[in-house]
Amino acid sequence: MKITNENFIKQLKNKNEYALEFVIRNYGGLMMSVIHRILYSYHEDAEECLFESIMKIWQHINCYDESKSTFSNWAAGIAKYTALDRFRKLTKIEPTVDIDHLNIEDIEHITDNSLFDEFFMELISCLNDEDKAIFIRIFWIGETTEETAISLGKTKSLIYNHISRGKKKIIANNPHLFRKEL
């Protein structure tokens, strides 16, 4: 049977190894680019991370829901979180505080302990303390917006509003980093 864009998901669910080859051929480059963005200084681990991501797709294909996302987004998400897990292991970043009890006042304490790189902290320095807490939870720790909303006692839409306004503020305060070429 020939594997195509129309049948590869069904064939993956049927554990057809040719469908896995199709995924590697058609989505491997996308996944590798996502992995390289995270593991940019760990070249030898990037390829191993790709294979680990492919195996996760193989093992968890039944979790994929076409109504929620495209396969490319789903595969890129798996690659991203696999790479983040590997990055955390490689850099041995262990949280010094329980993020479920993270207070806005704790942010300065966390940054003093060098858990966050200087660039990230410089970017979010223009934000108020509440927005900093949201950006740290979502963009550094890797929480979902839903997890952040629950832990901060806010709605998801309010978290999205904070993120949107925060991004605009970061861009406005760093125009040299976000210059649009015409």
Q: What is the pLDDT of residue 96?
A: 45
Q: Are residues 85 and 25 in the same domain?
A: yes
Q: Are residues 130 and 83 in the same domain?
A: no
What three-state secondary structure class fits 148?
helix
Q: Are residues 104 and 168 in the same domain?
A: yes
**Residue 125's Cα: distance from chain center in Å?**
21
Q: Rounded to whole angstroms, how far apart are CA atoms 164 and 182?
A: 24
> Is residue 116 in some structural domain?
yes
Residue that terminates a domain, selected from 91, 119, 139: 91
Q: What is the pLDDT of residue 92?
A: 64
> Is residue 2 in some structural domain?
no
For residue 92, what is the enclosing H or E element?
none
Q: Are residues 105 and 71 in the same domain?
A: no
Q: Where are the alpha helices (DSSP H) in 95-177?
A: 106-112, 118-124, 129-135, 145-152, 156-173
Kindly report, residue by residue over 8-40, the tens digit of the pLDDT. 999 999 999 999 899 999 999 989 988 988 887
The DSSP call for residue 181 is: P
Which residue, chain included where needed, has tokens 């996944």?
31
Q: What is the pLDDT of residue 177?
A: 66
Segments of the chain with pLDDT less than 50:
93-97, 106-108, 110-116, 181-182
Q: Rounded to whole angstroms, how far apart are CA atoms 94 and 97?
A: 9
CA proximity to 82, closest of 36, 136, 146, 22: 36
In this prediction the pTM is 0.51
Q: What is the pLDDT of residue 150?
A: 87
> Is residue 66 in some structural domain?
yes
We report the CATH number of the domain holding residue 162 as 1.10.10
Residue that terminates a domain, selected from 91, 111, 134: 91
> Is residue 22 in some structural domain?
yes
Question: Residue 180, exposed/middle/buried by CB under 10 A (0-12, 13-18, 19+)?
Answer: exposed
Q: What is the pLDDT of residue 53?
A: 93
> Is residue 130 in some structural domain?
yes
- The count of structural domains within the chain is 2
Angle at 117 between CA 111 and CA 119, to 5 degrees: 110
Residue that terminates a domain, selected from 69, 91, 113: 91
Q: Are residues 110 and 159 in the same domain?
A: yes
Range of the domain at 142: 99-173
